[in-house]
């Protein structure tokens, strides 16, 4: 076991029991509590310098764009589209995390001069998490230790990583039947074609499009099936349902050649000398990502050479995923116009800047102006509102999770809509996100007037809550639940910068935004008259006391939110889908 002058990178509190008492510790997550005398730094980001952010962003852009250029340039060309380019945005999070981790590890080694290194983050041989934070530190710490002659000791914590849910045999059988009907629609008509498993957006649009006796066909991977609704003119086809025997044989040949190329991929010279040392974790992610997703992209090319080339229009709700990017490129080759429906508030502006479309259906006038200013292309943008909210009305949702449903109806409920940590810049830290949770928990501890429900985002890893016995009886947590039903059951909704905040305003619930406004985000409702902002636990306690105890103030906050919605967003009149169809049919 490592002894004197050892350092430990620790992501799990339970691993500290296996770290020597004299070892210096760097907590990798805010839930790891370490004595000040042993702690190397409060957070990993303390080792970053102001100039690092610009360096990491510049290198990230180059790496994500050029990762495939170290091999035959035609290796990923399929039906006129370079599919490797479609992975560029998805890889930015991985590359940024690797570059940031490398800087942090180097500076710790330089300052601490360790003799041994311990780490409880495994050297993963697959994909990083969807929103990574120092995911590659196990591999990088091990390689740096080996290169400098240090002893490296893994302290892997068996956390039981959940497996991704796969479609059931019954759902796949249903999708097979639905695909046959959808293919017949594609052969007989020139329908609207939509992409991906976003039924809540597409079904209202399909119903509005149907009024001219035209159909909508949703194309989605078999692993992400949705149900059709022929009465509304909504049909579904699995991507792998397209193509004849010859096309499928060619596709399998392409996939075999592409995967062989990926397996022997080397870093291109354009990435510089540091790429050789950092290539291994990136290559592992690329190899797994390509193996998982390239088949869908290739079938998209087959689909457009098959009946999908007859589409009247292509509709999407995002163009950041590899599949969406491939669909847009294949549609362009066929001169099929594309429209993107905004799918969330403009908090993550970095991703919305990647929108690729001929037309954009924005949620309101302010968002439409933002798209016009920030998109590289000259897309036509209209403030249609979101079709997803056409059926949103009070009393429509009753599916509460059991842990909430059994609460007495008279118990006031406050909901906190958590959200995942997103490392869109190198200096971002999960400690900032954790600070919002601490503000919320601190406001609950001394109070017995309400119950708190923490709604974890489906894409985040729930945190263990440091609760005493009394507080634990007033807090419940859920992850998979009907968010609209939770909002309606709640008296007040707390959020950091989430689409849930807007939904709560639509459902007339006061919203309290936790923490300071993000200067990189255009979404700042409290500063524009919508909702309240609590930057500290004391702020939140005061705001909650007043909202729960003063009905007049409660109603004034609701009125302010209504004025904010009227000023910045399209009306919630049930006609957003009609406006989207108007944009689709426009010249």
E strands within 248-294? Answer: none
Q: Grade residue 469 by pLDDT with cuts at 50, 70 and 90.
A: low
Cα separation of 392 and 378, whole Å?
A: 32
**What are residue 533's DSSP bridge partners?**
513
Length of the chain: 587
Tell me what pLDDT residue 539 has.
95
Which 3 state secondary structure label does DSSP give 142? Answer: helix
Q: Where are the domains of the chain?
A: 6-154, 169-242+306-390+575-585, 402-568
State residue 459 phi and psi, 5-degree precision. Answer: -95, 0
Tell me what pLDDT residue 446 has.
63
pLDDT of residue 308 exceeding 50, the answer is yes
Per residue in 326-363, pLDDT tens? Answer: 999 999 999 999 999 999 999 878 889 999 999 999 99
Cα separation of 122 and 120, whole Å?
A: 6
**What are residue 238's DSSP bridge partners?**
220
Choose among 387, 388, 350, 389: nearest CA to 370. Answer: 350
Tell me what pLDDT residue 4 has.
56
Q: Higher pLDDT residue, 170 or 234?
A: 234
Is-same-fold flag (169-242+306-390+575-585; 402-568)?
yes
Per residue in 497-538, pLDDT tens? Answer: 999 999 999 999 999 999 999 888 889 999 999 999 999 999
Per residue in 557-576, pLDDT tens? Answer: 999 999 999 999 999 999 99
Q: Grade residue 3 by pLDDT with cuts at 50, 70 and 90.
A: very low
Token pair belonging to 414: 């406050």
Tell me what pLDDT residue 170 has.
59
Give residue for tokens 């501890």. Answer: 445
- pTM of the full predicted structure? 0.92
Choose among 252, 281, 248: nearest CA to 267. Answer: 281
Superfamily of the domain at 402-568: Glycogen Phosphorylase B; (3.40.50.2000)
End-to-end Cα, the chain, rounded Å = 71
Q: What percent of the chain has pLDDT over 90?
A: 77
Which range, of 2-6, 472-476, 516-520, 531-535, averages the lowest pLDDT? 2-6
Tell me what pLDDT residue 1 has.
44
Tell me what pLDDT residue 158 has.
53
77-78 vs 81-82, strand pairing mode: antiparallel
Q: How does DSSP classify residue 24?
A: E
Average pLDDT rounded to a whole number, residues 136-160: 85
Tell me what pLDDT residue 174 has.
75
Cα separation of 584 and 389, whole Å?
A: 19
pLDDT of residue 466 exceeding 80, the answer is no
Average pLDDT rounded to a whole number, residues 60-70: 92
Q: Grade residue 162 by pLDDT with cuts at 50, 70 and 90.
A: very low
Q: Higher pLDDT residue, 232 or 519?
A: 232
Cα separation of 143 and 280, whole Å?
A: 10
**What are residue 514's DSSP bridge partners?**
534
Which range, of 177-191, 273-287, 319-333, 463-477, averages the lowest pLDDT? 463-477
Cα separation of 369 and 455, whole Å?
A: 32
Q: Higher pLDDT residue, 399 or 323?
A: 323
State residue 12 phi and psi, 5-degree precision. Answer: -130, 130
CB atoms within 10 A of CB 464: 8
Tell me what pLDDT residue 262 has.
94
Query: With contact defined as beta carbons under 8 Å apart, do 416 and 441 qualify?
Result: no
* Count helices and strands in the chain by DSSP H and E runs: 18, 19
Tell me what pLDDT residue 186 has.
95
Domain 169-242+306-390+575-585 = CATH 3.40.50.2000: yes
Choose among 462, 465, 463, 470: nearest CA to 445. Answer: 470
| Secondary structure of 419-483 as H, E, C letters | CCCCCCCCCCCHHHHHHHHHHHHHHHCCCCCCEEEEECCCCCCCCCCCCCHHHHCCEEEECCCCH
Taking CA atoms, 435 is separated from 194, 299, 537, in Å, by: 39, 44, 10
């Amino acid at each position: 076991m490592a002894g004197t002058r050892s350092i430990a990178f620790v992501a799990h509190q339970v691993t500290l029991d296996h770290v020597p008492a004299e070892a210096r510790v760097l907590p990798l997550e805010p839930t790891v509590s370490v004595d000040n005398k042993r702690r190397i730094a409060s957070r990993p980001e303390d080792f970053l310098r102001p100039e690092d952010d610009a360096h990491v962003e510049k290198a990230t852009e180059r790496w994500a764009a050029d990762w495939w250029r170290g091999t035959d340039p035609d290796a990923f060309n399929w039906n006129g589209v370079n599919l490797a380019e479609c992975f560029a945005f998805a890889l930015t999070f991985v590359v940024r995390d690797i570059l940031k981790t490398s800087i942090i590890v180097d500076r710790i080694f330089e300052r601490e001069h360790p003799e041994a290194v311990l780490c409880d983050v495994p050297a993963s041989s697959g994909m990083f998490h969807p929103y990574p934070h120092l995911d590659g530190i196990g591999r990088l710490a091990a390689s740096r230790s080996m290169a400098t002659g240090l002893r490296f000791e893994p302290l892997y914590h068996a956390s039981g990583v959940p497996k991704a849910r796969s479609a059931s045999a019954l759902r796949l059988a249903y999708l097979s039947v639905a695909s046959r009907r959808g293919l017949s629609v594609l052969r007989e008509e020139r329908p609207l074609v939509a992409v991906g498993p976003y039924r809540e957006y597409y079904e209202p649009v399909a119903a509005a499009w149907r009024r001219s006796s035209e159909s909508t066909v949703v194309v989605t991977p078999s692993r992400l099936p949705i149900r059709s609704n022929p009465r509304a003119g909504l049909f579904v086809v699995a991507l792998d349902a397209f193509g004849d025997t010859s096309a499928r044989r060619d596709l399998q040949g392409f996939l075999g050649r592409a995967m062989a190329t990926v397996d022997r991929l080397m870093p291109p010279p354009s990435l510089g000398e540091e790429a050789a040392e950092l290539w291994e974790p990136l290559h592992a992610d690329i190899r797994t990502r390509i193996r998982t997703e390239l088949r869908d992209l290739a079938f998209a090319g087959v689909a457009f050479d098959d009946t999908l080339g007859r589409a009247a229009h292509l509709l999407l709700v995002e163009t950041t995923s590899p599949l969406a990017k491939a669909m847009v490129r294949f549609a362009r080759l066929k001169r099929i116009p594309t429209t993107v429906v905004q799918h969330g508030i403009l908090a993550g502006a970095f991703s919305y800047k990647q929108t690729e479309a001929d037309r954009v259906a924005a949620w309101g006038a302010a968002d439409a102006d933002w798209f016009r200013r920030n998109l590289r292309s000259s897309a036509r943008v209209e403030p249609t509102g979101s079709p997803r909210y056409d059926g949103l009305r009070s009393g429509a949702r009753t599916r509460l999770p059991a842990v909430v449903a059994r609460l007495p109806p008279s118990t006031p409920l406050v909901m906190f809509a958590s959200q995942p940590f997103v490392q869109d810049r190198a200096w971002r830290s999960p400690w900032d996100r954790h600070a919002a949770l601490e503000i919320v928990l601190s406001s609950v501890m001394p109070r017995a007037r309400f119950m708190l429900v923490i709604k974890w985002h489906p894409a985040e890893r729930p945190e263990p809550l440091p609760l005493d016995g009394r507080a634990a009886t007033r807090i419940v947590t859920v992850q998979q639940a009907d968010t609209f039903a939770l909002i309606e059951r709640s008296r007040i909704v707390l959020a950091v910068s989430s689409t849930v905040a807007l939904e709560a305003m639509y459902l007339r619930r006061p919203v309290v935004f936790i923490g300071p406004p993000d200067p990189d985000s255009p979404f700042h409702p409290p500063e524009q008259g919508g909702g309240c902002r609590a930057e500290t636990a004391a702020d939140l306690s005061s705001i909650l006391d007043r909202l729960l105890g003063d009905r007049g103030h409660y109603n004034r906050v609701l009125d302010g939110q209504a004025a904010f919605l009227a000023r910045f967003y399209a009306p919630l009149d049930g006609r957003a889908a009609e406006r989207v169809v108007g944009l689709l049919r426009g010249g």
